[in-house]
């Protein structure tokens, strides 16, 4: 999976988040503090203190948007979402090739989460910086993202990925992880495909009786594969 969700955040939310990240309320720390051993060797960025009121306030805006985004719900089938982190890459900063750790513990609740999917939400206008591309090595080859502010990209947490060096300006982004109700990538991706097909058939005015049967299959598979 390498899924883009455009306009997760609206203009108003982006303006508020941007103003906060550029204000004195944002204290930036060396990003290596939250990296594992492998990550610390290749990580060179700055991030907000996860326990700060600023990170909580901005993170809550993102969580609320995720909860009302039908594409996110359908593709991810979320069980737990890690509180969004905020990072900044200045000139010369980058994050070398790595994989995300399998388990993360929320600093807010202490709750542990299995990372099935990783997500990046771009927060700076693409013309305000150079470089800073997210490069993901997926099953379908190398995928690249350098999206508009407010857009999100989601990929399997098992994928090797990196952020290429920023050569001008500041790249601002939020990253988060999701534990899905469906542990297996293939099963989750099949359900997403089936849901999309049902939506398309519904829009094209397909026979209602057949649609109900198809929806029944979707929910049977969801029951079969869900882990709560
Ligand atoms: Ni990562």
Distance 66 CA to ligand 1 centre (A): 20
Which of 49, 2, 20 has its CA nearest to residue 123?
A: 20
Distance 18 CA to ligand 1 centre (A): 22
Give yes or no for a contact between 86 and 92, defined as CB atoms under 8 angstroms apart. Answer: no
Separation between Cα atoms, residue 29 and residue 88, nearest integer Å: 10
Average pLDDT value over all residues in the chain: 94
The stretch 7-26 carries a mean pLDDT of: 95
Distance 147 CA to ligand 1 centre (A): 17
Determine the 3-state secondary structure of 40 from DSSP.
Answer: helix
Structure confidence at residue 178 as a pLDDT band (50, 70, 90): very high
Please classify residue 105 by burial: count the beta carbons closer than 10 Å to its beta carbon, then call 0-12 exposed, 13-18 middle and 19+ buried.
exposed
Distance 101 CA to ligand 1 centre (A): 8
* CATH classification (class only), 2-180: mainly beta
| Listed residues: CB within 5 A of ion ligand 1 | 100
The CATH code for residues 185-225 is 4.10.860.20
pLDDT over threshold 80, residue 41 = no
Determine the 3-state secondary structure of 220 from DSSP.
Answer: helix
Answer yes or no: same fold for 2-180 and 185-225. no
The domain locations on the chain are 2-180, 185-225
Q: How many CB atoms lie within 10 A of CB 16?
A: 14
Determine the 3-state secondary structure of 205 from DSSP.
Answer: coil
pLDDT per position as a tens digit, 47-90? 999 889 999 999 999 999 999 999 999 999 999 999 999 999 99
Give yes or no for a contact between 55 and 48, defined as CB atoms under 8 angstroms apart. Answer: yes
Lowest mean pLDDT among 95-109, 165-179, 193-207: 95-109
Predicted confidence at residue 165, as pLDDT, reads 97
Distance 76 CA to ligand 1 centre (A): 18
Structure confidence at residue 107 as a pLDDT band (50, 70, 90): confident
Structure confidence at residue 5 as a pLDDT band (50, 70, 90): very high
Of 35 and 215, the structure prediction assigns the larger pLDDT to: 215
- The percentage of residues in the chain with a pLDDT greater than 70, rounded to a whole number, is 100
Separation between Cα atoms, residue 192 and residue 180, nearest integer Å: 12
């Amino acid at each position: 999976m390498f899924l883009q969700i455009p306009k997760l955040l609206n203009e108003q939310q982006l303006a508020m988040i941007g103003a906060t990240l550029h204000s004195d309320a944002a204290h930036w720390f060396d990003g290596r503090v939250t990296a594992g051993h492998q990550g610390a060797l290749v990580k060179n960025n700055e991030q907000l203190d996860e326990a700060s009121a600023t990170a909580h306030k901005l993170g809550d805006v993102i969580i609320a948007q995720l909860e009302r985004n039908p594409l996110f719900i359908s593709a991810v089938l979320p069980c737990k979402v890690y509180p969004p982190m905020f990072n900044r890459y200045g000139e010369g900063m980058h994050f070398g090739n790595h994989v995300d750790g399998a388990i993360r513990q929320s600093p807010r609740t202490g709750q542990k989460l299995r990372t099935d999917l990783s997500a990046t939400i771009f927060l700076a206008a693409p013309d305000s910086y150079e470089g800073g591309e997210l490069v993901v090595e997926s099953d379908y080859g190398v995928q690249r993202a350098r999206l508009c502010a407010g857009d999100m990209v989601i990929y399997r947490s098992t994928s090797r990925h990196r952020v290429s060096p920023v050569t001008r300006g500041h790249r601002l982004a939020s990253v988060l992880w999701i534990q899905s109700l469906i542990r297996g990538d293939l099963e989750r991706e099949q359900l997403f495909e089936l849901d999309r097909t049902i939506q398309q058939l519904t829009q094209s005015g397909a026979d209602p009786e057949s649609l109900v049967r198809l929806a029944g299959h979707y929910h049977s598979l969801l029951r079969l594969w869900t882990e709560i």
